[in-house]
């Protein structure tokens, strides 16, 4: 079947892959990736640099061929029908990749010609209007701030009405207001049924995703909603406020049950995975005058640091590309 539109057994499943692997030379960059993403979901990929996030995203949509494994994206086989997938995907790279000596409109016109769009002018006009770029349409792309460059990149991604957006750390170097506006737009797109895969380093952005996964050393360690990911690790976190917290932090880090000690404003957050042992080791400090202790919910950052710690301590652990 050569059509660019297919009816799948479950029309709401946009991505369904199992056991994807990718090697670059001897480096096993992605290991046994299995994932299901539904229509209109924003799925966030988190992990340190070189963890395999970008490679995973590219394999999921047919931009990179896996060395083993199988799956479908938008109803098409990710290996044998990759070309059909690419026609329905909008890809926004981390680095600004447009022509800085062309205006915003000229950039979008050029992209439209690359897609072979017959109705290019109304599509460009609509993209400019939708993302608030009309008043700046004649401005050179090279003169734009990070936030406006981001809007131009998103406008280019949406020109051909994709069903799937791939965003590789799209808010790097963008101010907080522009980041917030960008995520509001992503949720509006998701409400229209567009599926979004996004990689990010920001915990507040991770919490805005419908679902997320954490990749480390090429392995997808955990996935689900933010609350599911936090619950899966069964961590216990205590918040302590009071005097001489830097000195207290040193004492806490020496306790066997303490995995993390991190400053949060005027408090320290103390986290461990063994609830009873942690409470027992903290008990003498909790009765010391000058400090106030309160058990709090662990956050995503606590979970990801815990996962990184476990991976580093695992036998045979080594960095990946």
The verdict on residue 133 lying in a domain is yes
- Contact call for residues 224 and 232 (beta carbons, < 8 A): yes
Residues 102-123, mean pLDDT to the nearest whole number:
91
d(C-alpha 292, C-alpha 278), whole Å: 16
CATH of the domain at 134: 3.40.50.300
Residues 124-145, mean pLDDT to the nearest whole number:
92
- Asked if residue 7 has pLDDT above 60, the reply is no
Contacts of 111 (CB under 8 A, 6+ apart): 156, 159
pLDDT in tens, 22-58: 999 999 999 999 999 999 999 999 988 888 998 998 8
Q: For residue 3, what pLDDT band results from cuts at 50, 70 and 90?
A: very low
Which pLDDT belongs to residue 118? 84
Which pLDDT belongs to residue 138? 94
DSSP, collapsed to helix, strand or coil, labels residue 122 as: helix
More confident residue, 239 or 177: 239
- Asked if residue 316 has pLDDT above 50, the reply is no
The verdict on residue 222 lying in a domain is yes
Side-chain-side CA neighbours of residue 64 (13 Å): 19
Place of tokens 């995907």: 89
Other C-beta atoms closer than 10 Å to the C-beta of 143 total 12
Which pLDDT belongs to residue 17? 95
The verdict on residue 305 lying in a domain is no
Arithmetic mean of pLDDT over the chain: 89
Is 0.75 topped by the overall pTM?
yes
d(C-alpha 59, C-alpha 79), whole Å: 9
Residues 202-216, mean pLDDT to the nearest whole number:
92
- Asked if residue 279 has pLDDT above 70, the reply is yes
Do residue 27 and residue 157 come from a single domain? yes
Domain of residue 150 covers: 13-230
- Contact call for residues 257 and 251 (beta carbons, < 8 A): no
- Asked if residue 102 has pLDDT above 60, the reply is yes
- Report the length, in residues, of the chain: 321
Which pLDDT belongs to residue 179? 87
CATH of the domain at 256: 3.30.70.920
Give the relative orientation of helices 245-253 and 275-286 as an angle to the nearest 10 degrees. Answer: 140
Do residue 223 and residue 262 come from a single domain? no
Which pLDDT belongs to residue 147? 85
The verdict on residue 314 lying in a domain is no
- Please report which residue ranges of the chain form alpha helices under DSSP H: 53-60, 82-86, 104-114, 120-130, 146-158, 176-191, 203-206, 226-232, 245-253, 275-286, 300-313
């Amino acid at each position: 079947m050569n059509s660019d539109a297919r009816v799948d057994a479950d029309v709401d499943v946009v991505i369904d892959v199992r056991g994807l692997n990718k090697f670059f030379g001897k480096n096993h960059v992605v290991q046994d990736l299995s994932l299901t993403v539904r229509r209109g979901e924003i799925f966030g990929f988190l992990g340190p640099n070189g963890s395999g996030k970008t490679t995973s995203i590219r394999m999921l949509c047919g931009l990179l061929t896996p060395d083993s494994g199988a799956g479908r994206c938008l109803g098409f086989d990710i290996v044998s029908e990759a070309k059909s997938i690419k026609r329905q995907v909008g890809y926004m790279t981390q680095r600004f990749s447009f022509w800085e000596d062309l205006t915003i409109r000229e950039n979008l016109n050029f992209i439209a010609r690359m897609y072979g769009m017959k109705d290019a002018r109304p599509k460009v006009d609509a993209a400019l209007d939708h993302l608030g770029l009309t008043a700046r349409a004649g401005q050179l792309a090279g003169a734009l701030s990070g936030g406006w460059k981001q809007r131009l990149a998103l406008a280019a991604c949406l020109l051909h009405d994709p069903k799937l957006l791939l965003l590789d750390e799209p808010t790097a170097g963008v101010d907080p207001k522009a980041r917030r506006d960008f995520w509001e737009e992503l949720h509006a797109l998701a409400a229209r049924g567009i599926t979004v895969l996004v990689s990010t380093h920001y915990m507040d952005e991770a919490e805005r995703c419908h679902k997320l996964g954490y990749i480390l050393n090429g392995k997808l360690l955990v996935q689900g909603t933010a609350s599911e990911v936090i619950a899966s690790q069964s961590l216990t976190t205590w918040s302590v406020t009071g005097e001489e917290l830097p000195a207290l932090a040193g004492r806490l880090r020496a306790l066997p049950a303490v995995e993390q000690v991190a400053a949060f404003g005027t408090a320290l957050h103390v986290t461990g995975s063994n609830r009873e042992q942690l409470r027992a080791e903290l008990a003498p400090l909790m009765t010391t005058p000058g400090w106030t202790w309160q058990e709090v919910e662990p956050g995503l950052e606590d979970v990801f640091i815990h996962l990184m710690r476990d991976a580093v301590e695992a036998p045979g652990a080594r960095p990946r590309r």
